[in-house]
Structure 1
């Protein structure tokens, strides 16, 4: 049973690695557009000078942490926190304004804000599942 649960953790970790690397690379490839979209947000425009670079670096950093067993738990915590922030931001935008450009990049950019909210909530749930399984089953038995 333990092996199956750890496979779930690995699968979710690989999904998050792919998601964050894909998102970061698409943002990086069209950085000016990403920066413009961030500055178009009434909630983020004051941070548009440093936030785009910070988001890309954090996405790559979390993906990197998830690649190694010793840093996997830290990566899962980071992915949970980042997806929670993205989910909160999306929910706030849905409640305040509906005509803002999405700054996710690539295929994710094609989603509506409502679809983004559900997708992000799903990612938060996956992060919680992976983190709880990882904490429970990856430690040596006492």
Structure 2
């Protein structure tokens, strides 16, 4: 008698789920490493732009290092399978902070230069808001798709 092995349908769904989580993580890794590199490669410009923000002026010196370092650390967390969940929560937190900052700029400030580097610096504040909201949604999706810890 011939034996056929079929994989359980939930195993296929688990692979698809993990693949989607991986894609979300890679999107964040690419975003954060690109943004951090752009900020660090033109550090003086980044620090100057932060110092012009009415919200961040007093913290410009610290934030000019803290933001790119946080972006790099979160990218590392997302690369390590044991820390993916923590990395997704950290990405959600950072993107939520960035989004709150953009909302504040749009509502309370005028003509504030964007402190993002590279291609992202060419976006308007409203485009940044849409971009950030999309990444917040990606982080939430990745978190919700994480497998439940086994008891």
TM-score, L = length of structure 2: 0.89
Match of 2:137 in 1: 125
Work out which structure has the larger RCO, using CA pairs closer than 8 Å and 6 or more positions apart in sequence: 1
Following superposition, which runs of at least 4 residues in structure 1 exceed 3 angstroms of deviation?
none
The alpha carbon displacement at 1:125 in A equals 0.3
In the aligned structure 1, how far is the partner of 2:142 from the partner of 2:126? 24
Q: Does 1:89 align with 2:101?
A: yes
Which of 35, 46, 49 lines up with 2:58 in the alignment? 46
Structure 2 spans left out of the alignment, 5+ residues: 1-12
Number of aligned residues: 139
**Quick check: 1:16 aligned with 2:31?**
no
Assess if the C-alpha contact under 8 Å between 1:13 and 1:76 holds in 2: yes
Q: C-alpha separation between the residues in 2 aligned to 1:81 and 1:62?
A: 10
Bigger radius of gyration: 2
Q: Deviations over 1:39-87 (max 9, x none)?
A: 0000000001111100011000000000011111110010000000000
Corresponding residue of 2:89:
77
User: Whole-Å Cα distance in 2 between the matches of residues 49 and 99 of structure 1?
Assistant: 21
Distance in 2 between the 1:109 and 1:24 partners? 13
How high is the TM-score relative to the length of structure 1?
Answer: 0.95
